Amino acid sequence: MKKILSLVLLLSLSLLSSSKMNTLGYFSNFDEAIAQAKKENKMVMMIMTKDGCPWCKKLKESVLLQDQVSSRIKNEFVALILNRDTDMYPSYYKTKYTPTTYFIDANSEEEVWSNIGYAKKKDFLETLDDAHNAATELN
């Protein structure tokens, strides 16, 4: 009985976390995110997660939901969050490690910058800066 209750609780928390990401305007479809990024002339910030990943959960709940982080993401990127095991995306973005954050040029659909693993707020904000700097160097 305890195992069933634990499973139900874990699933509920996972769904709650996903609905928070949707509230923030995160896409859950690669092609739709790319199309929107082209319209807005922005990079796509794609975060690969997987079920049962404690660092993915921590990134979502402790970093991405913070006002300073979420406002920068909303203003500077088209945000996309995918489950590496169940969602559809180009195979060259398949990763063994989660969370992995990719910054993708919308026109070429190529990776501009990436970060593997969890990052605290300060480090995540620096990653956003690094992605912009890398994109500037390419252009």
**5-46 residue pLDDT tens:** 443 434 444 444 454 456 578 999 999 999 999 999 999 999
Cα distance between residue 107 and residue 15, in whole Å: 32
Provide the mean pLDDT of the chain.
Answer: 87
For the whole model, what pTM was predicted? 0.83
> Which pLDDT score is estimated for 21?
56
- pLDDT confidence tier of residue 3, bands split at 50, 70 and 90: low
Q: What integer pLDDT is reported at residue 25 of this predicted model? A: 84
Element spanning 82, H or E: strand 77-83
Res 12: pLDDT: 42
Domains of the chain: 13-138 (3.40.30.10)
Question: How many helices (H) and strands (E) in the chain?
Answer: 5, 4
Give the integer Cα–Cα distance in Å for 12 and 103: 29
The pLDDT of residue 137 is above 80 = yes
- pLDDT value of residue 5: 41
Q: Report, as an integer, the average pLDDT of 51-71.
A: 95
CA 27 vs. chain centroid, Å, equals 9
Which residues lie closer than 8 Å to 89 by C-beta, 6 or more apart? 30, 46, 82
Q: Are strands 43-49 and 77-83 parallel, antiparallel or unpaired?
A: parallel
